[in-house]
Structure 1
Amino acid sequence: MDAINIRHYFFYLATLVVIIAGLKVASEIVVILFLAIFISSIFSTLLRFLEKKHIPRVISYVLVICIFVLISLLLGYIVNNSLKNFIENIPQYEKQLQGLVVNTIALGESYGIAVDKKMILDALNFSSFFGFTTNIIGSIGTFLSKFLLIVIGVAFILAESKSFEKKLKVIFKQKREELEHFNQFSHNIQKYFLVKSTTSFLTGFIIAVGLIIFGVDYPVLWGVIAMLFNFVPVVGSIIAAIPAVLLSLVSVDLNTTIALIVFYVTINISISNIIEPKLMGKELGLSPLVIFFSLILWGWVLGIVGMFLAVPITMTLKIAFSSNTSTQWIAVLMSDITTKKEKKG
């Protein structure tokens, strides 16, 4: 019996390796498919809301698709224009940043601190500070050139959503419990994407408004980047903050930059650690260890876009496992239940 179980585990492991290898080979297509599914999950909530208001399904469907296309085009236009202007001005910002470092070195030398100015300037590649984020956004921009395929995918998935529900009822006609499991899975997925999208938009909006108040250049661009990088836990908020903080340092002043850092930290902690968990509930939490390895795995399999999709994909798998009694133990292993235990203790 034990030998049979071991063979089963090796079979499942080998299957998993083959699936991951296949996903990596077909990453370009898989990313488009995943994004189409996830975006459909978000906009299907709006579609149902419009239908509940007794708006005909065809009109509701067209409205939802138009809203999705308009939002995407608007974001693309803003990011493209702002990024183009920012890249053109990078040499100027680089000179200002170098001047700031030289002045700091001079200040240190006036207090008797020996510093090798040439070594520090050679070691600090200032273009890389700005270039890191712009390279990532550039990669996303290249991917968004396949935007039409995503729109078509979303359109077909939303069009099929109603008939898909009927198909499920036919499939699970004699298995009510399995249908309930699937409905619970679908509800939790939609809840996760709706909450995550809302909190990400809120993060980006607040940061854009804050940057306008602080007088930092390109506030809308950094707000959009903050919104996108909110889908990448832990490191996402740090990467999104780097360009804005450096711009504040070279174009405003040190006091404003310190205040801006505090502002970024406060907003990210408040939304990610307080508002988001309350809206999602503890059942939709993930272990930090699982989040870390999911970023590495999906980043390797699907590229940079995979890092943005890492948590949504992992959360989808966790919800799928928790919807079935035979796989609930896997969902528990993936969960972040430390807070619950501490409260009980």
Structure 2
Amino acid sequence: MDEEKIRNYFFYLACIVVIIAGVKIASEIVIVLFLAIFISSIISTLIKILDKRHIPKLISYLLVLGFFTLISLLLAYIVNISLKDFITNLPTYEEKLQQTIVNIISLAENYGYSIDKKTILDALNLNSFFGITTNLIGSIGTFLSKFLLIIIGIGFILAESKSFEKKLKILFRKESDKIEHFNLFSNNIQKYFLVKTATSFLTGFLVAITLIFFDISYPILWGVIAMLFNFIPVVGSIIAAVPAILLSFLTSDLNTTLILIVLYLAINIFISNIIEPKFMGKELGLSPLVIFFSLILWGWVLGIVGMFLAVPITMTLKIAFDSNKTTKWISLLMSSVKEG
């Protein structure tokens, strides 16, 4: 490796560090921008589907954007109400949990085990959980305050998309391969976001229906959480399952709780390991190591929203690298390639 290449690599590394630092400083704006871009890619795909059915573009645009706005506001309202009610009833759940733990400790003591009951009960103080739920409500309020800005951003991106394609054709009129690379990148991105959003919605829907069937409190809330946390791989499904399973343990019998655990596992395994690979294709898979570090990086840069956006952002970079022959090797390193 010659000296010039080494200098270039250090230059690119320095640029990446500066860009990440800038993104972290401007995280409030970047989050709105990323959400607007990602949602626009989904909406534009739906508009194309309606366009193939010979529905006028303006009507398609208004229908899809209006439907998205209505559903988002409705879900945010339901989640907000459910969270407030959950916080009101949280002391009751805490008392039930403590009583259950006391019964378990008493049972263990009957078998000759010595357990410090006071230490365990002090450790089960759910004041920190109050803080988490309060922060969640605050996050919903923050989202609603930015929601109008995101919708306006989506509107401008969709309005600009057609003229942007014309600008690219003018800019690269003598380099058709670059336009092909961009189209490939754009199509793969839209495919990924559409499939991931659809499977996440299906996950939340199945979870909510399951919880309604077993009469668990706040099924819509846990369904929305399951939908959102489906964007966080590996740990997301586990974190989303804990509140509903714990609530079932406190308010229902043990058999119901065990059945819910099995159904949660079945839903997530079926969707993550069967449905998503079938529609996305194995070539769009990310390496577990890349996923792990992307969660750390984007969680640090953009906060909790960054953890939800970590895989979509990383997948966007992978698809961008894969769309160009000179950077295809980077995409391969980021891929989940199985032996044989």
Give me the TM-score of the superposition, normalised by structure 2: 0.96
Alpha-carbon distance change, 74 to 146 in structure 1, aligned in 2, over 3 angstroms: same
Instruction: Give the C-alpha shift of residue 128 in structure 1.
Output: 4.0
What is the CA-CA distance between 1:230 and the residue it aligns to? 0.3
Contact 1:199 1:276 in 2 (8 A): yes
Deviations 1:164-186 (A, max 9, x none): 22222222211111111110000
In 2, Cα distance between equivalents of 1:280 and 1:158: 24
In structure 2, relative to structure 1, the CA distance for the partners of 1:204 and 1:134 (3 Å cut) is farther
Q: Could you list the per-position Cα deviations for residues 85-136 of structure 1 after superposition, in whole angstroms to 9, with x for gaps in the alignment?
A: 1111111111111111111111111222211111111122334457546644
Pair 1:329–1:137, CA change in 2 (3 A): farther
1:207 and 1:223 in contact (8 A); partners too = yes
Greater shift in the superposed pair: 27-36 or 241-250: 241-250
Structure 2: unaligned runs, 5 residues or longer: none
Corresponding residue number in structure 2 for 1:203? 203
SS at match of 1:215: coil
Q: Normalising by structure 1, report the TM-score.
A: 0.95
Aligned-residue RMSD, C-alpha: 1.5
Is 2:207–2:226's contact at 8 Å kept on the other side of the alignment? yes
What's the counterpart of residue 272 of structure 1?
272
Q: CA 1:177–1:11 in structure 2 vs 1: closer, same or farther (change >3 Å)?
A: same
User: One-letter code of the match for 1:18?
Assistant: V
Counterpart mapping for 1:74-223 below 5 A: 74-128=74-128, 132=132, 135-136=135-136, 138-223=138-223
Residues 1:130 and 1:218: Cα distance change in structure 2 (over 3 Å): farther
Partners of 2:254 and 2:131 in 1: how far apart? 22
Query: Does structure 2 conserve the Cα–Cα contact (< 8 Å) formed by 1:204 and 1:223?
Result: yes
Task: State the secondary structure of the residue aligned to 2:202.
Answer: helix
Give the superposition deviation at 1:145: 2.1
Q: Is the 8 A contact 1:233 1:291 kept in 2?
A: yes
CA gap of 1:187–1:69, structure 2 versus 1, over 3 A, is same
Counterpart residue number, 2:30: 30
Paired with 1:317 and 1:116, the residues of 2 have a C-alpha distance of 52
Q: Which moved more, 1:312-321 or 1:228-237?
A: 228-237
Mean CA deviation greater in 253-262 or 310-319: 253-262
SS state at 1:112 partner = coil
| Amino acid paired to 1:219 | P
**Which has the higher mean CA deviation after the structures are superposed, 237-246 or 15-24?**
237-246
Q: Which secondary structure does the structure 1 equivalent of 2:104 belong to?
A: helix
Would you say the 8 A contact 2:76–2:140 is kept in 1? no
2:327 aligned with 1:327, yes or no? yes
Task: Describe how 1:222-233 pairs up with structure 2 within 5 A.
Answer: 222-233=222-233
> CA shift at 1:195, angstroms?
0.4
CA distance in 2, matches of 1:146, 1:217: 29
- Hey, what's the Cα distance between the residues in 2 that align with 1:138 and 1:212? 26
Match of 1:23, as an amino acid?
V
Residues 80 and 140 in structure 2, CA contact (< 8 A), matched pair in contact too: no
Instruction: Tell me the amino acid that sits aligned with residue 265 of structure 1.
Output: L
In the alignment, residue 60 of structure 1 is paired with which amino acid? S
Q: CA deviation at 1:2?
A: 0.7
Structure 1 runs, 4 residues or longer, greater than 6 Å off: none
In the alignment, the residues of structure 1 paired with residue 162 and residue 187 of structure 2 have an alpha-carbon distance, to the nearest angstrom, of: 15
* Deviations, residues 214-259 of structure 1 (Å, cap 9, x unaligned): 2210011100110001001111111111110110011001121111
**CA deviation vs aligned residue, 1:72-95 (integer Å, no higher than 9, x gap):** 111111111111111111111111
2:191–2:280 CA contact under 8 A, matched in 1: yes
Separation (CA, whole Å) in 2 of partners of 1:305 and 1:6: 35
Pair 133,118 (structure 1): closer, same or farther in 2 beyond 3 Å = same
Deviation, structure 1 residue 26 = 0.1
**C-alpha distance in 1 between matches for 2:138 and 2:283:** 35
Change (3 A) 1:193 1:134: farther
- What per-residue deviation string (whole Å, max 9, x for no partner) do you get for residues 292-334 of structure 1? 0000000000010000000000000000000000000000000
Tell me the distance in 1 between the aligned counterparts of 2:147 and 2:54: 31
SS in 1 for 2:204: helix
Q: Structure 2 counterpart of 1:295, which letter?
A: L
For residues 253 and 129 of structure 2, what CA distance do their matches in structure 1 show?
18
Change (3 A) 1:227 1:48: same
Unaligned runs of 5+ residues in structure 1 are: none
Q: 2:149 is matched by which residue type in structure 1?
A: L
Question: One-letter code of the match for 1:193?
Answer: F
For 1:8, the aligned partner's letter is: N
Say which is worse superposed, 270-279 or 163-172, in terms of deviation.
Answer: 163-172
Which deviates the most, 185-194 or 108-117?
A: 108-117
Alignment partner of 1:50 is 2:63: no
Question: Residues 243-262 of structure 1: matches in 2 within 5 Å?
Answer: 243-262=243-262
Letter in 2 for 1:40: S
Conserved in 2, the CA contact under 8 Å of 1:61 and 1:159? no
1:16 aligned partner: 16
> Where does residue 315 of structure 1 map in the other structure?
315
User: 1:32, CA displacement in angstroms?
Assistant: 0.2
